[in-house]
Amino acid sequence: MPAAALPGRATASSNPGGIALSGWGNYPKVSTKLLAPRTLAGARDHLLGRSGVVARGAGRAYGDAAIGTHTTISTRGLNRMRSFDAATAQLTVEAGVTIADILAAFGPRGFFLKVVPGTKFVTVGGAIAADVHGKNHHRDGGFGTIVESFRLALPSGEIVTCSRAENAALFMATLGGMGLTGMILEATLRLLPIETAWLRQDTRVAGNLEAAIDLLEGSASATYSVAWIDCLARGAALGRSLVYLAEHATRRDKELLGPELAPFPSPRMSRLSVPELFPGWLLNRASMRAFNELYFRRGAAQQGRPRLVHWDPYFFPLDAIADWNRIYGRRGFVQYQCVIPQARARRVLADILDRVSRRGDASFLAVLKQLGDGDGPMSFPLRGYTLTMDFPVSDPLFGFLDELDALVVDAGGRLYLAKDARQSRATFESGYPRLAALRDIRQQTGADTRLVSHLSARLGI
Amino acid sequence: MTGTKSILVIGGSSDIGHATALRYAREGWRVTLAARDLEAAQRNADDIRTRSGVVTTVQSLDVLQTAQLAGFVAGLSVLPDTVVCVVGELGDQQRAQTDPELATTIMRTNFEAPSLLLEQFAQRFEARGSGTIIGVSSVAGDRGRASNYYYGAAKAGFSQFLSGLRNRLALAGKVRVITVKPGFVRTRMTAHMKLPAHLTVDPDRVAEDIYLADVTRPRDVIYVARRFQLVMTIICALPEAIFKRMRI
């Protein structure tokens, strides 16, 4: 049954010996048995003979993607790096190694990842399964483009190596395949050599959505671009944004803008933390408005003055606040991320933002990014614009999100499965016309009856 | 830079052994992992080499084969600057009460074998005139409890061995001995236990404290987490007449 039919109710299926598990959004909470193998062989053995099972990385998917209907296999114990070849910049790691691990080890040695999502606390396995994208997708593609190969455990127990040359169909279906093709055990990635750990950031102020999209469109040559939208602005200022453009700073950039800075300082250590059960009422309109005003004034003051920003706060601003998901309180939240094809983006995004701003319970900030064409048949990106917002779970929320879905479907867009906790099958099927490629692969390997997450059961994958 | 220094971790397939070796490797130390399970040790060694770029090797060693310990130490291509022994086995207390063989294994693994092995290093370090010997014992050795007294008794023995060894070597002043008493650590050994969150630490934390006590701020005895020292002080101060009736 689609969760949308059960507004605001945390469903708990009966599962003896199970624990209540949820994604990063703390919604929905469902019962599952959780296994935590410590070796690749152990992980494969857990897969054997089980049904209703799916792998889970760091639990950073927001909804129900990484929760098996019966059993969930955590890859956190598969956290060893295997080898690095400096000549080819190829790194092989187990699936539970996180992007933070990789950047901590290789950042100081002059390497980065060409594609990073908005948090560094995701695992490599999860990044492949969701084919995550970064602020450069329109130029450089998704996470799959830096994956050389991976080893995948099939439900039969067979372990196959997949790349663009070997088992190519399985490789492509696994990108964005949400763990439904098999369990990723190991992957080989290509790292990106960098001259410094710094980014040369330009901040631009956009007075409304039109201006923001113009800025993003006009900055196609920028490697990284992203717009942070003030969701509380309305009327003529609807969609007012700060647009951040950035390039990896060369040694020369660093000498010009920050000669006193070390080229590769270690990532910051201090982290704030949100206390458990942060009271939801603290997030009221007045406090949000005050925050946004400060935020925009600071951004406007930086306009036209390029500055150096370390990769950590540039790419992962929210990672500085541990457990920020608790800010939405006990009932949790839904992160809504849609992509609208280029041609329809301006009108439809304005419509969505208008409805959201009139409703007034969305996150105070939304993120707008350009995307290019997706890689795998199930990859989320398509050429256009993606908008991301948080909504605290409430009873009326689900009907409202269904309204937004209708706009997205009508525009030929889709929702990101790594964020999804509630879309309907119809919305999903209309958004992913190449779904048959994943279903075919699943039938061939027997994964269709064995690898079943709450997400795949809900959407009929 | 300490690029020429080296560390040998006995119990290199374990989580604490892995974390400790990685901590030293990050500072440029060469690493050797000794373990009975060579495959697991090799996996850890590959991880450490990949993350840190330092030279990492593995050595096969079953510490319970005590007759071979002297040969193992004599056969090392490089005598390490620091040796860390994280060998340990919790064992099943209830089963040990009726299974003398298991009880013996628990006591040998946690006390006899580590002590005999570290004595070998003590002699060679003394002859060389430098070195640090680090023994990972346990707060369980501070007072015997119903739930794990074979393990606790063996760790108590190991703690006293380290204390005595430190006393012997301190008189010459060249070789240091550090006793590490972790409380609850999230590892393979404790994976099946429900641990109190505020008293439980990750292996990384143990590794960090070991490195600090060895290199940065020399210490003789360290508790990880720190607050366990207070907890154990209180537990040790309880009169036996009361303690014997408690379930802790």
- pLDDT tens digits for range A406-452: 999 999 999 999 999 999 999 999 999 999 999 999 999 999 999 99
Looking at beta carbons, which residues of chain B come within 8 Å of A92? 50
Among A154-163, A226-235, A430-439, name the one with the lowest average pLDDT.
Answer: A226-235
Looking at beta carbons, which residues of chain B come within 8 Å of A38? 188, 191
Q: A103: nearest CA in chain B?
A: B51
Strand, helix or coil for residue B92:
coil
Looking at beta carbons, which residues of chain B come within 8 Å of A109? 53
* Alpha-carbon distances, residue B145 vs B191, B222, B248 (angstroms): 21, 21, 7
Contact flag B50-A82 (C-beta cutoff 8 Å): yes
A318 or A378, which is more confident: A378
A159 in reach of chain B (CB within 8 A): no
Residue A277, pLDDT > 60, answer no
In a domain, A3, yes or no: no
Residue A273, pLDDT > 60, answer no
A76 in reach of chain B (CB within 8 A): no
A435 in reach of chain B (CB within 8 A): no
pLDDT at residue A4, rounded to an integer: 36
pLDDT at residue A270, rounded to an integer: 39
What is the C-alpha to C-alpha distance for residues A335 and B194, in angstroms, rounded to an integer?
A: 32
What is the C-alpha to C-alpha distance for residues A132 and A143, in angstroms, rounded to an integer?
A: 5
Average pLDDT over residues A347-367: 88
Looking at beta carbons, which residues of chain A come within 8 Å of B44? 80
Contact flag A83-B46 (C-beta cutoff 8 Å): yes
Looking at beta carbons, which residues of chain B come within 8 Å of A39? 40, 43
Strand partners, B32: B8, B57
Residue with tokens 């000669």: A259
Looking at beta carbons, which residues of chain B come within 8 Å of A93? 50
Distance from CA of A80 to the nearest CA of B (A): 5
A187 and A163 Cβ atoms separated by less than 8 Å: no
Whole-number percent of chain A with pLDDT over 90: 77
Farthest CA pair distance, chain A: 62
Among candidates B46, B52, B191 on the partner chain, residue whose Cβ is nearest the Cβ of A80: B46
* Alpha-carbon distances, residue A257 vs A251, A299, A307 (angstroms): 10, 18, 7
- Give the helix/strand (H/E) hosting B58: strand B56-60
Residue B100, pLDDT > 60, answer yes
Interface test with A, best of B27, B43, B46, B51 (most A CBs within 10 A): B51
Distance from CA of B84 to the nearest CA of A (A): 21
A363 shares a domain with A221? yes
A387 shares a domain with A363? yes
Domain count across chain A: 2
In a domain, A70, yes or no: no
What's the domain range around A160? 81-194
Average pLDDT over residues B110-139: 97
Residue A3, pLDDT > 50, answer no
pLDDT digits (tens, 9 = 90+) for B163-175: 999 999 999 889 9
Whole-number percent of chain B with pLDDT over 90: 79
A91 in reach of chain B (CB within 8 A): yes
A313 shares a domain with A172? no
pLDDT at residue B29, rounded to an integer: 96
In a domain, A320, yes or no: yes
A142 shares a domain with A283? no
A276 shares a domain with A422? yes
Helix (H), strand (E), coil (C) string for chain A: CCHHHCCCCCCCCCCCCCEEECCCCCCCCEEEEEECCCCHHHHHHHHCCCCCEEEECCCCCCCCCCCECCEEEECCCCCCEEEEECCCCEEEEECCCEHHHHHHHHCCCCEECCCCCCCCCCEHHHHHHCCCCCCCHHHHCCHHHHEEEEEEECCCCCEEEEECCCCHHHHHHHCCCCCCCCEEEEEEEECEECCCCEEEEEEEEECCHHHHHHHHHHCCCCCEEEEEEECCCCHHHCCCEEEEEEEECCHHHHHHHCCCCCCCCCCCCCCEECCCCCCHHHCCHHHHHHHHHHHHHHHHHCCCCCEEEEHHHHHCHHHHEECHHHHHCCCCEEEEEEEEEHHHHHHHHHHHHHHHHHHCCCCCEEEEEEECCCCCCCCCCCCEEEEEEEEECCCCHHHHHHHHHHHHHHCCCEECCCCCCCCCHHHHHHHCCCHHHHHHHHHHHCHHHHECEHHHHHHCC
Looking at beta carbons, which residues of chain B come within 8 Å of A36? 191
In a domain, A301, yes or no: yes
pLDDT digits (tens, 9 = 90+) for A19-64: 999 999 999 999 999 999 999 999 999 999 899 999 999 999 999 9
What is the C-alpha to C-alpha distance for residues B96 and B82, in angstroms, rounded to an integer?
A: 34
A264 shares a domain with A303? yes
A415 shares a domain with A298? yes
A308 or A275, which is more confident: A308
Contact flag B50-A39 (C-beta cutoff 8 Å): no
In a domain, A443, yes or no: no
Burial B209-237 (b: 16+ CB within 10 A, else e): bbbebbbeeeeebbbbbeebbebbeebee
A178 shares a domain with A243? no
In CATH, what number is assigned to the domain containing residue A395? 3.40.462
Q: Determine the straight-line distance between the first and last CA of chain B, rounded to whole angstroms.
A: 46
Q: Which positions in chain B have a beta carbon within 8 angstroms of at least one beta carbon in chain A?
A: 40, 43-44, 46-47, 49-53, 188, 191
In a domain, A442, yes or no: no
Task: Please give the mean pLDDT across all residues of chain A.
Answer: 90
How crowded is residue B70: how many other Cβ atoms within 10 Å of its Cβ? 14
Interface test with B, best of A81, A90, A92 (most B CBs within 10 A): A81
pLDDT digits (tens, 9 = 90+) for A238-250: 999 999 999 999 9
Contact flag B50-A109 (C-beta cutoff 8 Å): no
A259 shares a domain with A385? yes
In a domain, A35, yes or no: no
Structure tokens at A315: 């790419």
Residue with tokens 């910049």: A89
Residues 6+ apart with CB under 8 A from A289: A232, A364
Contact flag A80-B191 (C-beta cutoff 8 Å): no
A232 shares a domain with A341? yes
What is the C-alpha to C-alpha distance for residues A206 and A240, in angstroms, rounded to an integer?
A: 6
Among candidates A80, A91, A109 on the partner chain, residue whose Cβ is nearest the Cβ of B43: A80
Contact flag A80-B52 (C-beta cutoff 8 Å): no
Task: Choose the final residue of a domain: A194, A222, A257.
Answer: A194
Farthest CA pair distance, chain B: 55
pLDDT digits (tens, 9 = 90+) for A298-344: 777 788 788 999 999 889 988 877 788 888 888 999 999 999 999 99
Q: Using alpha carbons only, how large is chain A's radius of gyration in Å? A: 21
pLDDT at residue A385, rounded to an integer: 98
Task: Please give the mean pLDDT across all residues of chain B.
Answer: 93
Distance from CA of A39 to the nearest CA of B (A): 9
Residue B55, pLDDT > 50, answer yes
Task: Choose the final residue of a domain: A158, A177, A194.
Answer: A194
Residue A393, pLDDT > 80, answer yes
Average pLDDT over residues B87-115: 96
In a domain, A437, yes or no: no
A213 shares a domain with A122? no
A154 shares a domain with A204? no
Residue A119's Cβ-side half-sphere holds a number of Cα atoms within 13 Å equal to: 21
Average pLDDT over residues A99-116: 96
Contact flag B51-A39 (C-beta cutoff 8 Å): no
Quote the pTM value. 0.91
